[in-house]
Amino acid sequence: MEKTNQTNGKRRLSKAQMERRRRRRRRAIIIRAISLGALLLVLVGAVWGVASGIRKIGDKKSEEKAAQEEQIRREEEALAHRKNVLAQAAEMALGYDYDGAIDLIKSVEGYEQDADLIAAAAE
């Protein structure tokens, strides 16, 4: 079946055999190209997934940081207000307006839990 001519130690293939070889090679190339394309799509999807995960983590961290900064700002404002009230109450007490000074101190939010405010009102 196989037509071979021995010239210089090489086999010559028939046209049908050469055509089958070409088809096999072409099919192998197509399969490799499809496999490579699928692999590339999987790789791009993985990179995209990792990148979006990193972005979400970064967004969450920045939100947490902003919330912490807001909390610190509110605490600093409350402390400044408390100091201001104590200073005003001290001035009122110097002017013999003790009831006004006590009422001013008691008007501060969280007065019942703050030992310094309770002590200032008692003076």
Q: Which amino acid is at 15?
A: K
Report, as an integer, the average pLDDT of 4-30: 82
**Is residue 119's pLDDT more than 70?**
yes
The secondary structure element, H or E, covering residue 55 is helix 15-94
Is there a contact between 117 and 104 (Cβ–Cβ < 8 Å)?
A: no
- Going from N- to C-terminal start, the domains of the chain cover 15-122
Q: Which amino acid is at 91?
A: E
At 121 the pLDDT is 77
**How many helices and strands, by DSSP H and E, does the chain display?**
3, 0
Q: What DSSP state is assigned to residue 7? A: B
